[in-house]
Amino acid sequence: MPIIAAVGQICSTSSMAHNLRQCRQLIQKASSAGAKALFLPEASDYIASNAAATVSLCEPVEKSEFVIGLQQDAQTYKLPIHVGVHEPTEDGKKVKNTLLWIDENGKIAHRYQKLHLFDVEIKDGPILKESNSVEKGKRIEDPFSTALGKVGSLICFDLRFPEPSLALRNRGAQIITYPSAFTVPTGKAHWETLLRARAIETQSYVIAAAQVGFHNEEKTRRSYGHSMIVDPWGKVVAELGGEEDEKGRGLDVGEIALAELDLDQLEKVRREVPLLRRTDVYPEML
Tell me what percent of the chain is helix, strand and coil, each rounded to the nearest 5: 30, 30, 45
What is the rounded distance in angstroms from the CA atom of residue 106 to the CA atom of residue 88?
21
Q: Which of 83, 121, 81, 122 is nearest to 99 (CA)?
A: 83
Element (H, E) at 112: strand 108-113
What is the rounded distance in angstroms from the CA atom of residue 10 to the CA atom of residue 276?
40
Question: Please, are residues 59 and 48 in contact by the beta-carbon 8 Å criterion?
Answer: no
What is the rounded distance in angstroms from the CA atom of residue 259 to the CA atom of residue 256?
10
Ramachandran quadrant class, 10 (left: phi over 0; alpha: psi -120 to 50; beta: rest): beta
What is the rounded distance in angstroms from the CA atom of residue 196 to the CA atom of residue 273?
17
Query: Which residues are the active-site residues?
Result: 42, 114, 156
What is the rounded distance in angstroms from the CA atom of residue 27 to the CA atom of residue 22?
9
Instruction: Say whether 124 sits in a helix, a strand or coil.
Output: coil
Q: Is 97 exposed, middle or buried (0-12, 13-18, 19+ CB in 10 A)?
A: buried
